[in-house]
Amino acid sequence: MEIKTHKEINQELCGIPIAIQDGEFAVVKLKLTENMKVDEKGLVHGGFIFGGADYCAMLTVNHPNVVLAKAEVKFIKPAKVGEEIIFKSKILEKNATKYLIKVNGFNKEDTVVFTGNFYCVITEKHVLE
């Protein structure tokens, strides 16, 4: 499992890669922590959930110049501090340097809590160059 993209990402905030098969799928585990909560009940901000799913999509392509162009997502169930979300991805479409990737997030009961389509592009050079 060689990680070729997003090498300096904060895995505490975006998840830990469990499995990667370049150009096919990825699995990422995100532990929901106190620094992700938005209230006294422990509700986790959706941005952290999105970040884990986005990271999973990037690892699916696993190319140094992959970037997110668009996402269509649904937050199906709320998540709270102490839970773990397992993100699993698969490629729905691939056309040269463009990918459509489906990412689902599951809780410990194996219930889908998040789903999304991520439109990713591999650029010729780094987007900041």
**Where are the chain's structural domains?**
11-122
pTM over 0.85, yes/no: yes
What span, in angstroms and rounded, lies between the C-alpha atoms of 51 and 36?
A: 12
- For 11-122, CATH number? 3.10.129.10
Percent share of the chain, pLDDT over 70: 100
**Position 12 pLDDT exceeds 90:** yes
How does pLDDT run across 21-53, given as a tens digit for each residue? 877 899 999 999 999 999 999 999 999 999 999
**Could you tell me how far CA 43 lies from the centroid of its own chain?**
19
The greatest distance separating any two alpha carbons of the chain, rounded to the nearest whole angstrom, comes to: 47
At residue 109 the predicted structure's pLDDT band, cuts being 50, 70 and 90, is: confident
